[in-house]
Amino acid sequence: MAEAVKHEQTLPSHPEKATLEGKNKFLGFWFFLGGETVLFASLFGTYLGLRNGVADGPTSQDLFHLDLVFIMTMILLTSSLTSVFAMINMKKGNFKGLIIWMWATVFLGACFLGFEIYEFIVYVDYGLGFTTSAFASSFYTLVGTHGGHVLFGILWISTLLIRYRKAGITLTNAPKFYVASLYWHFIDVVWVFIFTVVYLMGV
């Protein structure tokens, strides 16, 4: 039961990988992200294959405005940075710093999601429904799947933050926070590709 006890003073420098369970989680999660990469690659491939299939609907040139997407990108990149700060605090054993920076990450994630929903609403108003054209379907599927991942990340990290709000850093929760931040970076990287492939190549 040793791993359940608080070790605030004596935590190893990598609390997330100090137990076998932690190591397993860490490695397993990397593999999971490998699978996620193929998942998004498939969606990107589909989008690239269909992005000119606009039928009578609006084209990407009609719709995309880089300023909004640029703000979204900045928000998401910043949220990655705050999660890095959280991890640095975790490794230093500063629980309060961990919690605060993680909440900041969640907050920025929620802002991003808000903008995305706004963006979709604007596009729908403009005549790009989900079923309008193959371009529309593949666009919403790719970007929406990413948005779904952001939403899941927000719920997941919030759950951890509430569950462990008073626990301090332990060998049990350190891997959980660590893995959640890995996930967050991954979503961020995917967004960078979306920004490039969908928006920069689409205006």
Partner 1 sequence: MSNAQAQKSVLWDWLTTVDHKKIGIMYLVAGGFFFALGGLEAILMRIQLMFPNFDFVTAQTFNELLTMHGTTMIFLAAMPLLFGFMNYIVPLQIGARDVAFPFLNSLGFWLFLFGGVLLNLSWFLGGAPDAGWTAYVPLSSEYSGTGIDYYVLGLQISGLGTLIAGINFLVTIINMRAPGMSMMRMPLFTWSSFVASALILFAFPALTVGLLLLMLERLFGATYFAVDVGGNVVIWQHLFWIFGHPEVYILILPAFGIFSEVLSTFSKKRLFGYSAMVFATLIIGFLGFMVWAHHMFTVGIGPVANAIFAVATMAIAVPTGIKIFNWLFTMWGGRIQFTTANLFAIAFIPSFVMGGVTGIMLATSAANYQFHDTYFVVAHFHYVIIGGVVFGLFSGAFYWWPRMFGYKLNETLGKWFFWLFLFGFHLTFFVQHFIGLMGMPRRVASYLPGQGIDELNFVSTMGAFLMSVAFILLVVNVIVSVKNKSEADPWDGRTLEWAIPTPTPEYNFAQTPLVRELDALWYEKTHGNGKIKAAEPLDDIHMPNGSILPIFMSLGLFLASFGLIYQVHPVTIIGLAITLGAMFIRSIKEDHGYHIHKEDIKKEEGVG
Residue 19 is encoded by which pair of tokens? 């137990």
- 167, 4 Cβ separation under 8 angstroms: no
Task: Tell me how far apart the alpha carbons of residues 91 and 180 are, in angstroms, rounded to a whole number.
Answer: 15
Length of the chain, please?
203
CA–chain centroid gap for 36, Å, is 12
Please give the single-letter amino acid code of residue 157: I
Please report whether residue 38 would count as binding partner 1 according to CB under 8 A.
Answer: yes
* CB nearer to partner 1: pick between 57 and 153: 57
Please report whether residue 135 would count as binding partner 1 according to CB under 8 A.
Answer: yes
**Per-residue contact flags (x/-) with partner 1 for residues 168 to 187, judged by CB under 8 A:** ----x---x-----------
Task: Tell me how far apart the alpha carbons of residues 48 and 41 are, in angstroms, rounded to a whole number.
Answer: 10
Tell me how far, at minimum, the Cβ of 44 lies from partner 1, in Å. Answer: 10
Could you say which residues in the range 8-27 bind partner 1, by CB under 8 A?
A: 20, 23-24, 27
Tell me how far, at minimum, the Cβ of 53 lies from partner 1, in Å. Answer: 2
Tell me how far, at minimum, the Cβ of 85 lies from partner 1, in Å. Answer: 23
Residue 141's φ and ψ, nearest 5 degrees, are: -65, -50
Task: Tell me how far apart the alpha carbons of residues 189 and 175 are, in angstroms, rounded to a whole number.
Answer: 21
Task: Tell me how far apart the alpha carbons of residues 185 and 78 are, in angstroms, rounded to a whole number.
Answer: 11
Please report whether residue 7 would count as binding partner 1 according to CB under 8 A.
Answer: no
Please report whether residue 6 would count as binding partner 1 according to CB under 8 A.
Answer: no
Please report whether residue 54 would count as binding partner 1 according to CB under 8 A.
Answer: yes
The residue within the footprint of partner 1, chosen from 9, 10, 13, 55 (CB under 8 A), is 55
Which burial class, exposed, middle or buried, applies to 2 when counting CB atoms under 10 A from its CB (0-12, 13-18, 19+)? exposed
Q: How many residues bind partner 1 (CB under 8 A)?
A: 43
Please report whether residue 4 would count as binding partner 1 according to CB under 8 A.
Answer: yes
Q: What residues make contact with partner 1 under the rule CB under 8 A?
A: 1, 3-4, 20, 23-24, 27-28, 31-32, 34-36, 38-39, 42-43, 45-46, 49-50, 52-57, 130-138, 141, 156, 159-160, 163, 172, 176
